């Protein structure tokens, strides 16, 4: 439930991005200004200057032009007359966060994803670090699923992945009501920056390097297994894979599960709808309309259940379909996790 969150117009904490004002960094900044939940104090990106930040923040091919005023002045990024300090350090330990008033760091590089590496921010005076990616050893949280186990001893945490944020709320609802014996997940996932525009070498599987706009590419994902970290009773019961497809944004999860308790598909729909309108409101959406991927572009839910797309083979074996804006929905949860952590200070 999000009932614990402060009013949207209440600024509750200060944050900064480290290294790369990238897709997640820019969208979290947009969401911060749209909701007023957090105060952006500083941004660190060693690869682009402040004038380029103005351009990249103002114009977005996927989410449209920022509806506000953006400019640079005196080496600072000015958004809606709010001045943001800009740093260009490659080593996060060189930044004196204590001197800036920063309390929370959003580590959105995709590089400093372990507790040890992300803790470099703490040395400079930051209080907390939220890694906007899965982590091998940091406590992992999915809002609406396991945020209640957070405690103040956790200085470095992970917001998991966009796909885990989509899958986990639905898996929780299904498991709590019907029990999941085992399941397989496929995510049909939009293009991301890690892919190649044309065929090129890949550091992992060879086919990962094939042209993203030309191919449907089977790929690995740890998103389903990660659900076992945020819902321990599902540990070892879920696994999955991805298909990278030539669309710019919005992805969809196909979750096929065997249930402990027999249930008609209509009963499953009712349970998911009740959760979407109740304890998971704002996290899990529900629709019976005949929608397609672009209808979810810019949607802030973690997961949006498509009641008309799922099917059942029997009362114990069902395929469930849920959409997610893998950029905007995930970035919204980064902000919400930060607000929740701050409320526990």
Q: Which CATH number fits domain 162-326: 3.40.50.300, 3.30.360.10, 2.40.50.140, 3.30.420.10?
A: 3.30.360.10
Rounded Cα distance between 232 and 79, Å, is: 42
Query: Under a CB-based contact definition with an 8 Å cutoff, are residues 118 and 138 in contact?
Result: yes
Burial 205-241 (b: 16+ CB within 10 A, else e): eeebbbebeebebebebebbbbbbbbbeebeebbbbe
CA–CA separation, 204 and 227 (whole Å): 23
Which parts are annotated binding residues for NAD(+)?
23-24, 45, 132, 326
pLDDT in tens, 58-95: 999 999 999 999 999 999 999 999 999 999 999 989 99
Detail the residues annotated as belonging to a binding site.
23-24, 45, 132, 161-163, 192, 221-222, 244, 326
Is there a catalytic annotation at residue 162? yes
Nearest of 99, 98, 93, 100 to residue 118 by alpha carbon:
93
* pLDDT tens column, 151-205: 999 999 999 999 999 999 999 999 999 999 999 999 999 999 999 999 999 999 9
14-138 CATH choice from 3.40.50.10140, 3.90.550.10, 3.30.1300.10, 3.40.50.720: 3.40.50.720
Q: What is the pLDDT of residues 230-252, one digit of tens each?
A: 999 999 999 999 999 999 999 99
Give dist(CA 224, CA 164) in Å, integer.
6
Which residues have CB under 8 Å from 30's CB, separation 6+? 57, 63, 66, 331
311: part of which helix (H) or strand (E)? strand 311-314
pLDDT at 19: 55
From 162, 180, 230, 253, active-site residue: 162
Q: Where in the chain is the domain with CATH 3.40.50.720?
A: 14-138
Look at residue 120 and tell me whether its pLDDT is greater than 70.
yes
Domain ranges in the chain with CATH number 3.30.360.10: 162-326
Lowest-pLDDT range of 16-30, 209-223, 311-325: 16-30
């Amino acid at each position: 439930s999000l009932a614990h969150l402060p009013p949207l117009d209440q600024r509750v904490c200060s944050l900064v991005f480290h290294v790369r004002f990238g897709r997640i960094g820019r969208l979290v900044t947009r969401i911060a200004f749209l909701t007023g939940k957090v105060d952006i104090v500083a941004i660190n990106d060693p690869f682009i200057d402040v004038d380029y930040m103005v351009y990249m923040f103002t114009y977005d091919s996927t989410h449209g032009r920022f509806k506000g005023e953006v400019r640079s002045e005196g080496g600072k990024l000015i958004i809606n007359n709010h001045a943001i300090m800009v740093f260009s350090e490659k080593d996060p330990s060189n930044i004196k966060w204590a001197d800036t008033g920063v309390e929370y760091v959003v580590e959105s590089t995709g590089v400093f994803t372990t507790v040890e590496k992300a803790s470099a921010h703490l040395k400079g005076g930051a209080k907390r670090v939220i890694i906007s990616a899965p982590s091998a050893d940091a406590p992992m949280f999915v809002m609406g699923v396991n945020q209640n186990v957070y405690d103040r001893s956790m200085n470095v945490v992970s917001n998991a992945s966009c796909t885990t944020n989509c899958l986990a709320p639905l898996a929780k609802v299904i498991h709590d009501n019907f029990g999941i014996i085992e399941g397989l997940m496929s995510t049909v996932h939009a293009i991301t920056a890690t892919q190649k525009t044309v065929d090129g070498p890949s550091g992992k599987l060879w086919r990962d390097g094939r042209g993203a706009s030309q191919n449907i590419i089977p790929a690995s994902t740890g998103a389903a297994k990660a659900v076992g970290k945020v819902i321990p009773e599902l540990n070892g019961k879920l696994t999955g894979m991805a298909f990278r497809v030539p669309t710019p944004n919005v992805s969809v999860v196909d979750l096929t599960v065997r249930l402990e308790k027999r249930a008609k598909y209509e009963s499953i729909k009712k349970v998911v709808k009740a959760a979407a309108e109740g304890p998971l409101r704002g996290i899990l959406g529900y629709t019976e309309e005949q929608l397609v991927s672009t209808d979810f572009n810019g949607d802030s839910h973690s997961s949006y259940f498509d009641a008309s797309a799922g099917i059942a083979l029997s009362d114990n074996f069902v395929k469930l379909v849920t959409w997610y804006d893998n950029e905007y929905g995930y970035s919204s949860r980064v902000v919400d996790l930060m607000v929740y952590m701050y409320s526990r200070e």
